[in-house]
Structure formats: structure tokens, C-alpha cells
Amino acid sequence: MSKSKVFSLAGLLLGVFLLIGCSSTTPMMNETESQPPVASQEVIHTLTPVDTQIPTEIQLPTETQVTVETQQPGSNVDYISGGLLYDDWMKQLEVEPPEEDQPLWKTQTTNARSGKDTWRCKECHGWDYKGLEGAYGSGSHLTGFKGVLDSVSMTEDELLAWMDGSENSEHDFSAYFQEAELTLIVNFLKYGLFDTAAYINADKTISGGDSSNGKVLYNGLCAACHGEDGRMLNFGDEDEPEFVGTIAIDNPWEFWHKASFGHPDSQMVSVLKIGWSIQDIADVLTYSQTLPTE
Ligand code: HEC
Ligand code: HEC
């Protein structure tokens, strides 16, 4: 372990303890009133593996962000809207998909999709932002491409270089994104990513969520559009319906992303924008897994 690693790990521990100790007085964006028992368990849990994510209640889950004050976004930085671009920038920006497949698509053969899907960030990097190392590491979405969670340790300039083709000319979105949109996606990558492994297990069950609080949250917000049982909006069709409950069970990572950032080009709200905490999202996901799937 390098000296700086040791140093940052020590800082991380200190940061975590400070956060827990001060959480009632620090004006954290996603402060919750009740601290879930999972926080302390997970803190212990993160000490052994590498250095990735810290599942505290705060929005910014990484080592750098917790230990280095200046890594946190200013209050005027919009790191949420870019989540809609990550989901489906063509839908969100109401632009026609490029005619050809994304140029990097041909470097893989395992994912048989073509056209529009090949341009969606999530198709290559995953709903869990982990690419090959996450849920898209197998199955029909497998491409073998890496995830984007390392973005949090890159500078904004480095991230921009990834987006505009300077880093890899086949990874160039500058012809489709305005400058302001490039900034939104960079802000999302740097400040908006969250490693859901703190709550979502590989078998798609949820740890550390409070279903009864989730029910209150769901009925107070989501039910207005999705119905109390989640069946008011059908994302599938008559024969193969897809409801909130279906997504919660089949693809909790997608659920997490949609709830956090909203659904592209729709009325759906981003719960992060209205001040929900990470714990609130876990709670509503836990409850939503009890809703009907058909
Ligand atoms: C067709 C698949 C594909 C799509 C679509 C795609 N990427 Fe990538 N992305 C890649 C590949 C492959 C790499 C690694 C390329 C390399 O190493 O040169 C990469 C690298 C990156 C990196 C650098 C990651 C790192 O840790 O080095 C970031 C950040 C990134 N992509 C973000 C995005 C965003 C945001 C979008 C959507 C606007 C997007 N990507 C769309 C395939 C894709
Ligand atoms: C203002 C209305 C509105 C509210 C409030 C709302 N949604 Fe949505 N939601 C939508 C619409 C519209 C869609 C897109 C439906 C479609 O594509 O057919 C959607 C889509 C979704 C999807 C993804 C569907 C897919 O295509 O995979 C999920 C998951 C979801 N909502 C969950 C939630 C949750 C959880 C809440 C509460 C935190 C919530 N929504 C609140 C309107 C809303």
C-alpha cells in the first residue's frame, strides 16, 4: 500500500467517524433523521475491500469526496440532470439517433443489439455504473466494457476529454451534445454516481432498506403517477406488462437510477432534486419490491 493510500484511508476513517458523529449538525444535503443500522455495519464492511464506496447517508459516496472537502460540488453545480442523459440522451434531448452503431460497438460481439441502444451510456456502462464488473457482466447486455465509477477520481477536464473524443476518438459525443450538456454529463459522472452495492445485493435483494418508510414515501409521491399498487403506468405491453414493481424486482439498479434522476423526457421527478436521501431511495426500492409485477 502506498503512503498516499494509507493516508487517504486514514482520512477516510476519520471522515466516516466525523460524519457519523456530526450528522445531526452538519447540513448535509441528504441528511435523514433516523440513521439506519446499516451505516455502522457497512462502515466495517468497507474497511477490508479496496477503497471504493462508503455507504453513509450522504450523497457523495467515494473516498475522495468524503475526505477532500473541495471535491464536493458547489451548491450551484447541477450533477443530477446529467443522469437523464446517461439513461437515454437521445430521448432526453429529443434528437434522432445516429444512423450507424456507436463506433466502439463493433469491438464486441456478445451484445447483439444495434442502432439506438448502442449509443446509450447505460448500455455499455450499466445501470450500476460497473460495466463488465456489474450486472452487465453476463447475459444479453454483456459487452465487456468497463464501468464509469472511477470517474469520481478524474478531473472535470479529464472527463470532458472522455466525452468529446480527445481521449479516444471513437468515444466522441461532441457532435450530439451542446457544451452545456457536456458539462451536465461531466458533473453527473464526477458527483452524481453512487455505488448501490451498499444496498443492492448481487441476487437483487435489498439490504438495509426500511419498507414501512418506503411505503410512506411511495404513497406520498410515486403513487400519484404510478398508482398505489404501481400498475397505473405500464412500461411494457398488455401481454408482458412492466410496472414499478416489475422493475424493482427484475432490475433494482435501473430502479435506483430512475428514481434518483427521473425518466428521460417525462414528467417524472428526480428524488435527489427534491432532497431525498440515499436511504430514502433504498427504502422506496425495498417497498416497491412488494408491489405486483403483473
Ligand atoms: C458503445 C459503448 C459505449 C457507449 C455508448 C458509451 N461508452 Fe463510455 N466507454 C466505452 C468504452 C469501451 C470505454 C473505454 C475506452 C478506452 O479504454 O479507450 C469507455 C470509457 C468511458 C469513460 C472513462 C472510464 C474510465 O474509467 O477510464 C467514461 C467516463 C465514459 N466512458 C462515459 C460515458 C458516458 C457518459 C457515455 C454516454 C454519453 C458513454 N460513456 C457511452 C464504451 C461506451
Ligand atoms: C409526475 C409523475 C411521476 C412521478 C411522481 C413518478 N413517476 Fe416514475 N415515471 C413516470 C413516467 C411518465 C414514466 C415513463 C413511463 C413510460 O415510459 O411509459 C416513469 C417511469 C418510471 C420508471 C421506469 C420505467 C422504465 O421504462 O423502465 C420507474 C422505475 C419509475 N418511474 C419509478 C418511480 C418511482 C419509484 C417514483 C417515486 C419515487 C416515481 N416513479 C415517481 C411518472 C412519474
What are the pLDDT digits (tens) for 36-71? 433 344 433 433 334 444 444 444 444 433 333 345
Residues near ligand 2 with C-beta < 6 Å? Answer: 221-222, 224-226, 233, 235, 244, 247, 255, 258-259, 263, 266-269, 271, 284, 288
Categorize the per-residue pLDDT at 76 as very low, low, confident or very high, splitting at 50, 70 and 90: confident
Structural domain total, the chain: 3
User: Distance from the CA of 255 to the center of ligand 2, in angstroms?
Assistant: 9
Categorize the per-residue pLDDT at 73 as very low, low, confident or very high, splitting at 50, 70 and 90: confident
H-helix segments, the chain: 3-22, 38-47, 63-67, 82-92, 121-125, 156-163, 179-187, 211-217, 223-226, 244-250, 252-261, 278-288
Which residues have C-beta within 8 Å of that of residue 270, sequence separation ≥ 6? 80, 83, 260, 261, 262
Looking at 144, 173, 193, the residue that finishes a domain is 193
Residues near ligand 1 with C-beta < 6 Å? Answer: 86, 89, 102, 104-105, 118-121, 123-125, 145-146, 148, 150-151, 159, 162, 168, 171, 173, 185, 189
Cell of 83: 443522469
Domain that holds residue 65: 3-71
Cα dihedral 279/281/282/287 (nearest 10): 130
Domain contains 77: no
114 and 184 both lie in a single domain:
yes
pLDDT score of 261 more than 90: yes
Among all ligands shown, which has an atom nearest to the Cα of 165? Answer: 1
Closest CA to 171 of 132, 208, 118: 118
Looking at 31, 48, 71, the residue that finishes a domain is 71
Which residues have C-beta within 8 Å of that of residue 150, sequence separation ≥ 6? none
103 and 53 both lie in a single domain:
no
Among all ligands shown, which has an atom nearest to the Cα of 247? Answer: 2
Which residues have C-beta within 8 Å of that of residue 111, sequence separation ≥ 6? 123, 140, 141, 142, 143
Report whether 87 contacts 253 (CB < 8 A).
no
- Per-chain mean pLDDT for the chain: 84
User: Distance from the CA of 222 to the center of ligand 2, in angstroms?
Assistant: 7
Q: What single letter denotes the amino acid at residue 149? A: L
User: Distance from the CA of 168 to the center of ligand 1, in angstroms?
Assistant: 9
Looking at 13, 47, 71, the residue that finishes a domain is 71
Domain contains 76: no
